Amino acid sequence: MIGRKNEQKRLKAALTKDEAQLVAVYGRRRIGKTFLVRETFGEKFYFQHAGLAQGSLSEQLAAFRDSLVRSGAKDVPVLSGWREAFNALERFISAGGTKRKKVIFIDEMPWMDTPKSKFVMWFEAFWNGWCSARKDVVFVICGSATSWIVKKVFRNRGGLYNRVTERIHLEPFTLGECRELCRSMGLSFSDGDIAELFMVFGGVPYYWRFLERGKSVAQNIDALFFAKDGQLRHEFDDVFCSLFGERPGYMKIVRALSSRVSGMTCGEILSSTGLSKGGGVLRMLDALEQSGFIRRYTAYGKKKHDSQFQLMDSFTLFYLKFMDGESNRDEHFWSHSTSSPTLNAWRGLAFERIGLLHLRQIKEALGISGVLVNAYAWRHNADDTYPWGVQIDLLLERADRIVNVCEFKFAKDEFVISAEYGKALNRKCETFRAVSGTRSAVHLTLVTTEGIVYNSHSGVVQSEVTLEDMFR
């Protein structure tokens, strides 16, 4: 298994506890939750079941009964509701005695909570009325609909309040873990190749496993996305529909955010989408954030209610940029366009996103891992005093009274700072210092792929971070 060492350690620790354990594993769809649980517990499962996507109540109950029978339960009646279902599970667990730990695994639990089924109520009763009193039960729940897990389990104010003993949020792979995965698969890609693939797939290991040996990055992307039978050609629609169903509001929000690299406020989203103001939009934004599609952040000098929302899922951004509505796209589009201005501009923006997703590595490269650091973005709209706009995608405000203004530059080779660009960088830092009123020292950090060429204009740079640093 690549990575996930800490997560495995926490799962295995549940087997050593002398009380019932309710473990929740959650995260973006395709991130590897089921794989992690199965690889960790192996043959230790006493019962396992997976909810049905878009299944009705009767279909969910029939599938649950089938799982009980497959696990060895005897004389299981036809189930008429979740009360009977959990009673049947209780009898099956009891039949196994109390001498050994029993791992109960329910995958995609959110799909089982169909309308008017009272699933959550009967699960609460099952856990509180019976499971929690035992010492031999490790109950693992899993789901890609992260917002359901958060709302119905973590934020539950009823019978499940504070009942989860272990929360494991499975994060996407880092660049370093993606490189390790490629090597384990026998793929001979350079770090630059892996960075470009990360711009497309993000750190979702499921997608990386479709890559083929002997093909270049461009050939793999063409085969997976642009070929008529490409295995990932319809993946975005499948994932989005499985998480949010036929709810166009979610798609409107995502499309709006894809058009603004630095993100939007809630008001700007409402204006762009035409959605009505109210709790519905806030709930959708919360669900998108919990599911890993967007992030919520506060700009430097702003208050929490002025939060910005930024689309961060690489796979979604790639799809909306190059595939959305393009049914007749050239089957070799990526190979034919690999050096085009369009793809180069996209790489520049995607490289910034890689940096935002690797803040820990950037801090380590700057030697400030042990310093309290707050990360912000900052924007200045042109006015009479400073008649130029300034956009800073990453500010690191440090407890040692230094602010790192991070500038991202994607380049095939070492980056050369020209006289004009050096002046622009100086102006950006000076504008930030004056407009923000900061009393901290302002240091310019250049984040590049291959480093910079030191010349008469590079003195403006106080520190640098490279792609190699982000692989660590």
The predicted-structure confidence for 168-187, as pLDDT tens digits, reads as follows 999 999 999 999 999 999 99
- The tokens for 39 are 């690889």
User: Helices (H) and strands (E) in the chain — how many of each?
Assistant: 20, 15
Same-domain check for residues 46 and 143: yes
Which pLDDT band holds residue 366 (cuts at 50, 70, 90)?
A: very high
Q: What is the pLDDT of residue 213?
A: 96
Task: Give percent of the chain above pLDDT 70.
Answer: 99
CATH code for the domain in which residue 442 is found = 3.40.1350.10
If we measure between CA atoms, which residue out of 148, 84, 139 comes closest to residue 112?
148
Quick one: average pLDDT of 373-380?
A: 92
Given 141, 169, 197, the domain boundary residue is 169
Same-domain check for residues 318 and 328: no
Same-domain check for residues 433 and 444: yes
Which pLDDT band holds residue 248 (cuts at 50, 70, 90)?
A: confident
Q: What is the residue range of 434's domain? A: 358-470
Same-domain check for residues 24 and 98: yes
Which pLDDT band holds residue 244 (cuts at 50, 70, 90)?
A: confident
- For the ranges 144-148, 207-211, 365-369, 432-436, the lowest mean pLDDT is seen at 144-148
Q: What is the pLDDT of residue 226?
A: 94
| Predicted confidence (pLDDT) at residue 354 exceeds the cutoff of 80 | yes
- d(CA 386, CA 336) in angstroms, rounded, equals 42
Same-domain check for residues 429 and 412: yes
Q: What is the pLDDT of residue 231?
A: 95
Q: Could you read off the pLDDT of 58-81 as tens digits, one per residue?
A: 999 999 999 999 999 999 999 999
Q: How many domains is the chain partitioned into structurally? A: 4
Same-domain check for residues 242 and 267: yes
Same-domain check for residues 338 and 458: no
Same-domain check for residues 128 and 223: no
For the chain, give percent helix, strand, coil, nearest 5.
45, 15, 35
What does residue 140 show for φ and ψ, rounded to 5 degrees? -110, 120
* Average pLDDT along the chain: 93
Quick one: average pLDDT of 390-413?
A: 94
What DSSP element (H or E) covers 332?
none
| β partners of residue 443 | 404
| Predicted confidence (pLDDT) at residue 325 exceeds the cutoff of 90 | no
Maximum distance among all alpha carbons in the chain?
Answer: 83
Given 352, 368, 401, the domain boundary residue is 352
Quick one: average pLDDT of 217-223?
A: 97
Q: What is the pLDDT of residue 327?
A: 67
Quick one: average pLDDT of 84-112?
A: 95
CATH code for the domain in which residue 91 is found = 3.40.50.300
Q: Could you read off the pLDDT of 298-318 as tens digits, one per residue?
A: 888 887 777 899 999 999 999
What is the reported pTM? Answer: 0.91
DSSP string covering 114-176: -TT--HHHHHHHHHHHTGGG-SSEEEEEEES-HHHIIIIIIT--STTTT--SEEEE-PPPPHH
- For the ranges 99-113, 222-236, 324-338, 454-468, the lowest mean pLDDT is seen at 324-338
Given 142, 169, 196, the domain boundary residue is 169
Same-domain check for residues 282 and 372: no
Same-domain check for residues 254 and 311: yes
Q: Which residue has the higher pLDDT, 46 or 328?
A: 46
Same-domain check for residues 205 and 344: yes
Cα four-point dihedral sign 464, 468, 469, 470: positive
| Predicted confidence (pLDDT) at residue 278 exceeds the cutoff of 80 | no
Same-domain check for residues 199 and 151: no
